[in-house]
Amino acid sequence: MITISLCMIVKNEEEVLARCLDSVRGIADEIIICDTGSTDQTKEIAARYTDLVYEEPWQEDFAAARNAAFLRASKEYWFWLDADDVLEEEERQKLLALKKRLSPGEVGTVMMRYATAFDDNGQASFVFERERLIRNVGRPVWQGRVHEVIVPFAPILHSDIMISHRKVKISEPGRNLRIYEKMEKQGAVFSPRELFYYARELMENGNLEKAVDVFYRFLKDETAFLPNRQEACCFLAKCLQALSRPVQAREVLWQGLALGTPTGELCCALAESYMKKEQWKEAAFWYRAALQAEPDLFTGGFIRQECYGYLPAIELCVCYDRLGDWQRAAQWNEKAAVYQPSSPAVAYNRNYFAAKQKADGSKKE
């Protein structure tokens, strides 16, 4: 059995910290919490769970803060969580079993699934893999001032354990973009990963023109992480559509398809571009292609689950209705219901098709 140090950085997390720490009871052999400037009861709550609570001055550098927590750890493996993360009971039991099963040094990194968005039924809708349990090598391992990451150590174990990221409040607006812009002013050389996330922050903060420029810069680097390149094509196309440049948007999506095995996200984005032009047949083709794609949770890319089920099914309902085949459209609506039974769109469509069927019956009479 291995020993584990849970290492966390926190700031003003009084609403969620106890929930997080309660959810991982029995996992950690020690808990290290570095507070980066809380003005609420965060430190007092942390002290109920551990004596190892430290004040760590905030340097606008997430990697530096996480490394400070890691380097205070004494156990064989580091385990990290954010304060608004939760380990559901089934997942906690899986992690406890893994802890008992592993021998010290047997693995370098255990990858776990990370769910950061959920549908109306509470099911994970946005999932990706993260390095979560890491062998303690006694030196800094986190990289990146924002969207920090650890390069996994081999041997790597891909686990199906899932951590749920359940926010109750919005993060500090503009914080990440501010850090990236400061880096740019300081003349920092951006890694491909940093360019990808900088472009995303620009997009999410409404600076679409600059986001387009940075996404194009990122895509020029053929050594960049393939899933990020495919994702960047989707994001870039979205920016170009918003800037009324649909031809360029379509070209970028075709570029994304040429990078490797088509993802559900790319197929749905291409289908949407045809829907905007009311080219229902072409849109239907690409939504069907999305349903043939398979999400690969072990690539490290972001998985938008609805692009592999509910979204193409509900949009195929729309496409076939617009093509005048409402019976086939109704069938696709029922397939969408398999993925999201309580979807308001499914319920609305059922009433719509019931009225269609009644009207058709009246005509036949």
pLDDT in tens, 207-257: 999 999 999 999 999 999 999 999 999 999 999 999 999 999 999 999 999
> What was the pLDDT predicted at 359?
76
> What was the pLDDT predicted at 300?
73
Q: How many CB atoms lie within 10 A of CB 148?
A: 19
> What was the pLDDT predicted at 364?
54
pTM of this structure: 0.90
- 173 pLDDT tier (thresholds 50, 70, 90): confident
> How far is residue 109's CA from residue 243's CA, in Å, rounded to a whole number?
42
Find the range with the poorest average confidence among 5-14, 141-150, 295-304, 311-320: 295-304
> How far is residue 92's CA from residue 163's CA, in Å, rounded to a whole number?
9
pLDDT of 298 over the 80 cut: no
| Whether the Cβ atoms of residue 95 and residue 79 lie closer than 8 Å to each other | no
Instruction: Please give the structure tokens belonging to residue 198.
Output: 């900088």
| Whether the Cβ atoms of residue 182 and residue 115 lie closer than 8 Å to each other | no
| Whether the Cβ atoms of residue 112 and residue 130 lie closer than 8 Å to each other | yes
Residues 6 or more apart from 294 whose CB is under 8 A from it?
308
| Whether the Cβ atoms of residue 87 and residue 12 lie closer than 8 Å to each other | no
- 362 pLDDT tier (thresholds 50, 70, 90): low
Pairing of strands 109-118, 124-135: antiparallel
pLDDT of 14 over the 70 cut: yes
> What was the pLDDT predicted at 276?
93
| DSSP class per residue in 257-279 | HTTSSPPHHHHHHHHHHHHHTT-
Place of tokens 């918003």: 242
Average confidence (pLDDT) over 119-147: 93
> What was the pLDDT predicted at 66?
98
Place of tokens 């776990």: 112
Find the range with the poorest average confidence among 147-156, 163-172, 182-191, 238-247: 163-172
| Whether the Cβ atoms of residue 290 and residue 308 lie closer than 8 Å to each other | yes
> How far is residue 243's CA from residue 239's CA, in Å, rounded to a whole number?
6
Q: What percent of the chain has pLDDT over 90?
A: 90
- 357 pLDDT tier (thresholds 50, 70, 90): confident
Phi, psi of 259 (to 5 degrees): -75, -30
Find the range with the poorest average confidence among 9-23, 102-116, 166-180, 248-262: 166-180
149 DSSP 8-state letter: E
Q: How many CB atoms lie within 10 A of CB 52?
A: 19
> What was the pLDDT predicted at 295?
87
Average confidence (pLDDT) over 57-84: 97
